[in-house]
Amino acid sequence: MPDSNRHPGHRKLLSHIRKIMAAEGTAQYRLDALVKAIASNLHADVCSLYLRRPDTSMELWATYGLDPNAVHITRLGAGEGLVGEIVRLARPLNLTEAPSHPAFSFHPETAEDPFHGFLGVPVLRGGRLLGVLAVQSREARHYSNDDIEALQNVSMILAEIVSSGDLLTAHELENVALRPSRAETLSGRRISDGLAVGSAVLHDPARLKTILIAEDPEAEKTRLLTAITELRHAVDALYQGKGNRLGGPSREVLEAYRMFANDQGWLDRLCEAAGSGLSAEAAVERVRGEHRARLLSAKDPYLRERLHDLEDLANRLLRHLGAVDELVELPEDAVLIARTIGPAELLELDRSRLKALVLEEGSPTSHAAIVARALRLPVVGQVTGLLDRISPDDTIMVNAEEGIVSIRPDTDTEDLFRVRVDERRQRRATYARLREKPARTRDGQRITLTMNAGLRVDLPQLEESGAEGIGLFRTEFQFLLSDHLPRLNEQAQLYRAVLDAAGTRPVVFRTLDLGGDKILPYVAHERESNPALGWRAMRMAIDRPGLLRYQFRALIDATGGRELNIMFPLITTLTEFRIARNLLDEEIKRMTRFGYEMPAKVRVGSMVETPAIVWQLEGLLKEADFVSVGANDLMQYFFAADRENPRVAERYDILNPGSLNMLGHVATICRKAKRPVSVCGEIAGQSVEAAILIALGFTELSIPPAAIGPIKRMILSLDQKDLGTKLAKWVVEPQARVRENLMAYAQVKGLSL
Ligand code: PEP
Ligand code: MG
């Protein structure tokens, strides 16, 4: 690590610059003084500042040593000259003999011909290149590392000041490309349906407070080191699972955080920057900007991925330094932009202001997606390059029906969007008209459409959507959103509210499905290398039955004399089902003894979420009153593809003969056993998949409430027997293409998918 006392002259430069920037006068006057001060401090003959124009050319804004008449006249095309080379590389260029560099170009109007020594650095802000700052000398000269450091520090400060908007007038700012301004349309993945327009709010934005230059560099270094130590502890705690709530950073990301937080190269760069006279915050920002610029130009997706990890880490470090304003309140019409988000975080946001969510990652079966659907929040995920292209407050149109986002839309895009909004309104009006109509296929098969729920906010949806009941109530959501283990009466209150809202409609309560990615922050848990295959759901409940018995008590109490439907998650063997059922029976006996009013009827069901139970279904159905196919988990285990990992979550088409054979088997066995079966995974809420499920023989779907209208419309246009016959042929074709076949079939038969 370099000794920060080595270049006191450079520190003087920083305090000189602070004075210049704080002085009265036009921007031009101050920038002229700035380049002069730099030239003098570095004993250079020339110092020039170029800023990038919106057309991406580089304009000479200030110079000391070149012909002043060239200021605002000289413009270098993209990639032109040594300045263009720095733009391309996004890192310093230090040349003893500049004219012999292949990128050297001569501009007679600047009279730079006789200069040999050259040092230029990019002016970076958040990884985006705003300009280039360069010094030149008449003699051949190799600038020292300290000189490079000094120039980088000044350029970092310049970047902050220029982009703060305090230096340049509004008119001047029009000629500087501070942020992307082109209209762009990016595509991603539909995660939660809807349309919305609003202004971009960056989740986790680094909004740097303005102290950039250190009063006391040693004290700054100490502050920085303390913050780094705190950061390491915090990352370690996250890694060990403490405070990592549902959907927090994934294990892979945490591994990367840990690696960077302990990376000596990163720490050296930070300390070097702080020791050279920048405030600790400015040092973090400078190093972050340099990494960002370099990694942004990387083509390798792995490297770009690591860039995000470094960004997150820098944001965390700034937070430890107290340098970043927390996101206190969302503005009106906010469209939140994030790499990823957890469901608990999502619920903490003000829904009345939040119009949509756009993610670089995100998978449709993740729990955040399930919560977003419950909140009826439009979400587009897997939008590659999103964070590089958007700036805070940009207008953004989110078309989560098609998985498209338009940033800074032009008028044509706006018009098109308005058409989509109109169409959607009409469609919704159609769905509202269908609300009271029973879902019956054209050939007379009645299909029951119930809804999935888990939050109080879901309950009004029972009426609005026309759902025939709640086919899946995810009880763990209450636990995940609470900062303590919900007490018996808190649980009972929620269950009572659910039953009251449902009235005569049936409700199926699923017992706690914790573990995997659903970790309670207030319960100690051990790190598992494979959480989806780990100690979760029923396995946890059987090993620690206290929580489950407590929940049974709350459910029985809340039900009073009504009917109680309970379902167990992730059953893998018949023994697991029996153990859970016995616990319930014991609880019923115990509460009867204490004189509680007992439910009029208790029905006990099981989720079908593991291939293991699929192949023991006959046995299970002798004991279970009903089953529900949790296709999210069943498919994750069937394809061995983590549902939370966007890289693999959708790698395999569920309409593949293997999975369809398995689902068909489930439908057939349940029909033969005369036991009710529903499908409650996310696929049941998608028209294409739902049509296939019905063709396979499923007659109850439990789906997100917003899907009830579209699915009912599809059902009303479907001939179940006819599609069933076709499907039986499609799956045995050597090159089975069920999805394509269905799309073609829908066209011919007028099936509304
Ligand atoms: C499923 O796995 O399909 C399911 C409905 O349960 P969850 O999504 O809550 O895991
Ligand atoms: Mg599940």
Ligand nearest to the CA of 518: 1
Nearest ligand, CA of residue 680?
Answer: 1
Mean of the per-residue pLDDT values for the chain? 87
| Ligand showing the shortest atom-to-Cα distance for residue 369 | 1
Per-residue model confidence as pLDDT tens digits over 104-118: 877 666 655 678 999
pLDDT at residue number 269: 84
Neighbours of ion ligand 2 (CB under 5 A): 630, 633
Pick the more confident residue, 446 or 319: 446
pLDDT band, very low/low/confident/very high, at 20 (cuts 50, 70, 90):
confident
pLDDT band for position 318 (cuts 50, 70, 90) = confident
Ligand 1 midpoint to CA 626 (Å): 16
| 634 CA: nearest ligand 1 atom | 2
The residues near 420 (Cβ < 8 Å, ≥ 6 apart) are 195, 399, 401
Q: What percent of the chain has pLDDT over 90?
A: 53
Q: How far is the CA of 359 from the centre of ligand 2 (A)?
A: 23
- pLDDT per residue as tens digits for the range 599-619: 999 999 999 999 999 999 999
What distance in angstroms lies between residue 633's CA and the mean position of ligand 2's atoms? 5
pLDDT over 80 at 182, yes or no: no
Strands 75-76 and 58-64: antiparallel
Q: What is the DSSP letter of 456?
A: G
pLDDT of residue 183: 84
Ligand 1 atom closest to 636 (CA): 2
Residue 604 Cα, ligand 2 centroid: separation in angstroms?
17
At residue 184 the predicted structure's pLDDT band, cuts being 50, 70 and 90, is confident
Whats the size of the chain, residue-wise? 753
Q: Is the CB of 681 under 6 A from ligand 1?
A: yes
- Nearest to 511, CA basis, from 476, 459, 544: 476
- The count of other CB atoms within 10 Å of the CB of residue 445 is 17
Which strand ranges, in their side-by-side order, compose the sheet holding 93-95? Answer: 75-76, 58-64, 46-52, 128-137, 117-125, 93-95
Distance in angstroms (rounded) separating the CA atoms of residues 200 and 397? 10
Residues 6+ apart with CB under 8 A from 485: 479, 520, 522, 523
Task: Assess whether the C-beta atom of 163 lies below 6 angstroms from ligand 1.
Answer: no
Of 193-207, 291-305, 423-437, 634-648, least confident by mean pLDDT is 291-305
- pLDDT, residue 633, reads 95
633, 635, 639, 693: residue to mutate for ligand 1 pocket, most atoms within 8 A of CB? 633
pLDDT tens, residue by residue, 732-745 = 998 889 999 999 99
User: Highest mean pLDDT range out of 200-209, 273-282, 626-635?
Assistant: 626-635
Expressed in angstroms and rounded, the spacing between residue 629 Cα and the centre of ligand 2 is: 9
CB 631 less than 6 A from any atom of ligand 1 = yes
Ligand 1 lined by 374 (C-beta under 6 Å)? no
User: Per mean pLDDT, which range of 2-16, 64-78, 370-384, 509-523 is the poorest?
Assistant: 2-16
Q: Please give the average per-residue pLDDT across 11-17, as a whole number.
A: 82
Q: What domains are there in the chain, each with its CATH number? A: 4-173 (3.30.450.40), 184-203+332-409 (3.50.30.10), 217-320 (1.10.274.10), 438-749 (3.20.20.60)
- Binned at pLDDT 50, 70 and 90, residue 253 comes out as low
Q: How far is the CA of 631 from the centre of ligand 1 (A)?
A: 7
Among 254, 392, 253, which residue's Cα sits nearest to residue 336?
Answer: 392
Inform me whether the pLDDT recorded for 6 exceeds 70: no
Ligand 1 contacts CB of residue 685 (under 6 A): no
- Ligand 1 contact, 513 CB (< 6 A): yes
- Ligand 2 center from residue 567 Cα (angstroms): 12
The radius of gyration of the chain from alpha carbons, rounded to an integer in Å, stands at 31
pLDDT at 364 over 60: yes
Residue of higher predicted confidence among 242 and 349:
349
Q: Using the atom order of ligand 1, give the atom closest to the CA of residue 569.
A: 6
Gap from CA of 701 to ligand 1 centroid (Å): 13
Residue minimizing CA distance to atom 3 of ligand 1: 630
Strand blocks (E) in 420-481: 448-453, 470-474
Could you say which ligand is closest to the alpha carbon of residue 683?
1
> How many C-beta atoms lie closer than 10 Å to residue 522's C-beta?
11
375-402 pLDDT, tens digit each: 889 999 999 878 777 888 889 999 999 9
In 3D, which of 55, 101, 47 has the Cα closest to residue 77?
Answer: 55
Looking at residue 645, what is its pLDDT?
Answer: 82
Q: Evaluate: CB of 610 within 6 angstroms of ligand 1.
A: no
pTM given for the model: 0.69
Report the half-sphere exposure of 158 (CA within 13 A, side-chain side): 30
Our answer on whether the CB atom of 644 is closer than 6 Å to any ligand 1 atom is: no
Instruction: Give, for 126, the enclosing helix (H) or strand (E).
Output: none
Q: Which residue has the higher pLDDT, 693 or 208?
A: 693
Any ligand 1 atom below 6 A from CB of 474: yes
Nearest 5°: phi and psi at 52?
Answer: -80, 135
